[in-house]
A and B are shown apart, each in its own frame.
Chain A
């Protein structure tokens, strides 16, 4: 907001000073230019005739996808059950590792701000920046294909997520409650258990089910790289272009995700 003086001395009101105006427009211009440049980069690597063909291709795809092959569903229950297990066990493992990391990372509970905290923060960032599919890719090479790689991939990706959100919750606690428990002569572990843990419990429960819900989604595609679950069937069906089977798989995934989202919303509602 700027109040300027006209040449005759009367005050004038404008939203921004001319200088700020110029900066804002310049910023928008630079942003648009960047997007256009980036788009031209992508466009150079695109075979446009394919793209113009996309509506026909898409129509074709949809025509081949319908009707879904429902009978295939009977072979999918076991992989679906595996998928849910990958997500659940993976989340549980991530909680086991992530909770201690969160306490080591939060600046009010870490044993050492200089050494432990930066190391733990790096572990958290590394875990978060690598997608579970990439973790799965690495783990399939190491452990061989199968559920175990999937579980570990989910766990390794979720550790960072859980630890990050939990340590933020720990840093936001009410410090007077901590002070009060400290003043009774409680030891550090007791202060943790009596003043900090009760305060972060709702956040902890909420973010755990939230991550579980995300993990169900992620676990559906881990099979694409061989890490178990329903994605293995999806990969196999796509490879042989059995699109009606793919549709059946999509519908099952959709159903599972809707149920898990509903469940996690219910739980989060109950604890907060």
Chain B
């Protein structure tokens, strides 16, 4: 404890509440920058108020579509779209995961030599950069309209997503466990099966469940560009101003997402 007497009053006068950003010039630069950006950005929004006013009436009609939603008059279309979405989800998730595992192995710096590493990281980067819709446009142009284009899109997006996260997990594994397998004289494949797979398996299962959930949600929009699924039904009903059918489709999507979310949460709890 200090030998000289401590001047609490002086210290209290000097004390200031700690600011969010330590360096003063950076703090003011950030504040000013944020303010300038906000003014500029909000300036770019053009609002057509007369159009928006008309919209209120349409919003009312859209909302009234929910009371009650119409599941029956376009029931066949909804069912067809839903089955397409579900089948696209299942196939694309299965194919995507199967393909993502070799890519993930190649994208792990502790397993793959540099050229393979760069190649696999390249695949991941391309798959993650472009929105599913853009990829779907390209696939529709190549294989024609229909659920196959959507399935290919989702499988491609799944590869990027899964491979990146699994590769990160493989790079984080305990090297000692893999080393121990190598020390017994195991081959490269034995190393994978005994040293690495047991460590990353829970994460692969958890991510797969999560991706299944995402793929279903995405499958609901790919229809907008003709790549199949329930989005097609939704788009058509909007085009025809059949808001009660649109409401029914939206409710079906929400219900399935809810179901997926609870079951994927349940699976993830099970494996951890």
Contacts and interface: CB of A to CB of B under 8 A. Distances in A.
B90 A34 contact: yes
Given A38-B91, A41-B83, A134-B221, A61 B142 contact: yes
Given A144-B51, A146-B46, A137 B91 contact: no
Interface string A227-263: 0000000100010000000000010011001100000
A219 to B, nearest CB: 9
A57 B148 CA distance: 15
A47 interface: yes
Interface in B146-164: 146-148, 151
Contacts of B147: 42, 45-46
Interface string B154-184: 0000000000000000000000000000000
Contacts of A133: 133, 221, 224
A238 B90 contact: no
A115 interface: no
Contact of B94 (A35, A125, A238, A250): A35
Given A89-B42, A134-B231, A257-B129, A142 B59 contact: yes
B71 to A, nearest CB: 18
A254 B135 CA distance: 13
Interface stretch (A68-76, A80-88, A101-109): A80-88
B117 interface: no
A209 interface: no
Q: How many of chain A's residues touch chain B, expressed as a range?
A: 35 or more
B228 interface: yes
A88 B41 contact: yes
A47 B144 CA distance: 8
Interface string A139-172: 0011110111001000000000000000000000
A51 B47 CA distance: 44
A141 B225 contact: no
B49 to A, nearest CB: 10
Contacts of B94: 31, 35
A138 interface: yes
B235 interface: yes
Interface in B88-109: 88, 90-91, 94
Interface in B48-94: 48, 51-52, 54-56, 58-59, 62, 83-84, 86-88, 90-91, 94
Please name the 7 residue pairs, one residue from A and one from B, whose CB atoms are nearest each other, closest first.
A129-B257, A50-B144, A144-B51, A38-B87, A142-B55, A85-B41, A46-B148
16 contacts: A38-B88, A39-B87, A42-B84, A42-B148, A45-B84, A46-B146, A82-B44, A89-B45, A125-B254, A125-B258, A133-B133, A138-B238, A148-B47, A224-B224, A250-B130, A258-B129
Interface of A: 31, 34-35, 38-39, 41-43, 45-47, 50-51, 54, 57-58, 61, 81-82, 85, 88-89, 125-126, 128-131, 133-134, 137-138, 141-144, 146-148, 151, 217-218, 220-221, 224-225, 234, 238, 250, 253-254, 257-258
Given A38-B86, A125-B257, 12 more contacts: A38-B91, A42-B146, A50-B144, A51-B143, A131-B220, A134-B231, A137-B235, A141-B55, A142-B62, A217-B130, A250-B130, A257-B129
